Structure 1
């Protein structure tokens, strides 16, 4: 009996069961890995078929899982979509922060941020297409709110708000330093920059598809010139045509837009009352 016990003790030293924490960590890694695989498959399906035509069956087939297993990770295609939106915004924010960290002047940061945004749309076309689905009215934003919940939608709006706030902060610092006009509204200036970039992206997309009409256009040079000219109109040493507008049509603080964002998800307000009223 003692011999058997001794042999068992020796065997335990060679075949030591993994600690509970190790098993938990391994399971968590496996869970996260599978979740990443599901998101990757969903991104491809949404990109190819759009939101309305995509189903959980299609996503399950794409990632090689049973539909029931898929539901263990995501409750609906709406939840999958919003998770991809959040993932895309995080990548965009990282790109913008990386650019800003390596530059010193406000003009450089604003110009390079616009170029970084355009680069994101080209290098991550699947994410960008998913972000734009709401803008194309392919998804009902309030239905997303109802399916996904207020907490997650607010988190996404918060991420978008950080991007907006970062641009506004740069502009505000330039106004306070006297390099931009004191009359310049930081919020409106940020919107102008975003609108200019969005418009440029549409033009560049057409140029890419119809080179025989427009010729070869260098996107970086095009954006750099566009944003530089806009920033010049903000300068305290340049007279902007808007300053000469009659007071009756000049922008006022009352007309200042609120609750805006560069991403279409934040262009609609998600109100629990409005959702409840529909039920």
Structure 2
């Protein structure tokens, strides 16, 4: 790999510092309330310098999405290197994903925002959007691969195509996370007041349900 020049390293350092600052500001105030001025101040940069790296708050949020999905994939990839049955791989990947989101809610919000703008023409050729899409595709590959391993070693039912099953698990995981975050939000369905659950219990019960459902 080509070694970066001093100027390139400094540019990268500033870019990462901006993303760090944006994670804090958006995490505290929310995406709509956060401003470019606050992010620049937190990063200890002039507003002009900030705009040299990111043209808008949206582009920064997408950079947060890319970072989060990349870090999550790094953790998920480790599961596939372990000597586990396919079923255990699926369960471990589930724990990695759900605990990662619990620890980094800003990334879950960024993931959802990214998905909300996918059909907007202005972002169709964005390099950062393409990178986010590559990361999402890689994450799905990890899930599908673990399902394939399980179908081969006999720990997972082979009655559903692994790609379709992976999509079901992905979608269900997002729904569980959304419901967990709603419980901590001011606005949520009133029926949730009648259900006692913790973030941890929701995670454990969901993973157990998925595991028992696909186990052969």
Normalization by structure 2: what TM-score?
Answer: 0.78
- Which residue of 47, 55, 78 maps to 1:98? 78
The answer to whether structure 1 residue 171 and structure 2 residue 153 are counterparts is: no
Structure 1: 4+ residue segments shifted above 6 A: 206-212
Structure 1 gap segments, 5+ residues each? 1-21, 236-279
Aligned residues: 207
Provide Cα deviations, 1:153-191, integer angstroms capped at 9, x if missing partner: 222211111111221123234445565455421122112
Q: 2:159 and 2:26 mapped to 1: Cα distance?
A: 44
Residue of structure 2 in register with 1:222 after alignment: 205
Provide Cα deviations, 1:140-162, integer angstroms capped at 9, x if missing partner: 4444x525834332222111111
Q: 2:84 and 2:152 mapped to 1: Cα distance?
A: 17
Q: 1:141 and 1:27 mapped to 2: Cα distance?
A: 33
Residue of structure 2 in register with 1:231 after alignment: 214
Q: CA deviation at 1:94?
A: 0.8
Map 1:240-279 → 2, pairs under 5 A = none
Structure 2 gap segments, 5+ residues each? 186-191
Normalization by structure 1: what TM-score?
Answer: 0.62
User: What CA RMSD, in Å, does the superposition of the two structures yield over aligned residues?
Assistant: 3.1
Q: 1:51 and 1:206 mapped to 2: Cα distance?
A: 17
The answer to whether structure 1 residue 65 and structure 2 residue 41 are counterparts is: no
Residue of structure 2 in register with 1:198 after alignment: 174
The answer to whether structure 1 residue 188 and structure 2 residue 164 are counterparts is: yes
The answer to whether structure 1 residue 75 and structure 2 residue 55 are counterparts is: yes
Q: CA deviation at 1:96?
A: 0.7
Residue 211 to residue 170, structure 1, CA distance change in 2 (3 Å)? same
Q: 1:68 and 1:80 mapped to 2: Cα distance?
A: 15
Residue 123 to residue 187, structure 1, CA distance change in 2 (3 Å)? same
Map 1:154-169 → 2, pairs under 5 A = 154-169=130-145
Residue 169 to residue 49, structure 1, CA distance change in 2 (3 Å)? same
Q: Is the 8 A contact 1:111 1:224 kept in 2?
A: yes
Provide Cα deviations, 1:84-136, integer angstroms capped at 9, x if missing partner: 1110000110111122322421011000101110011111122222222356x
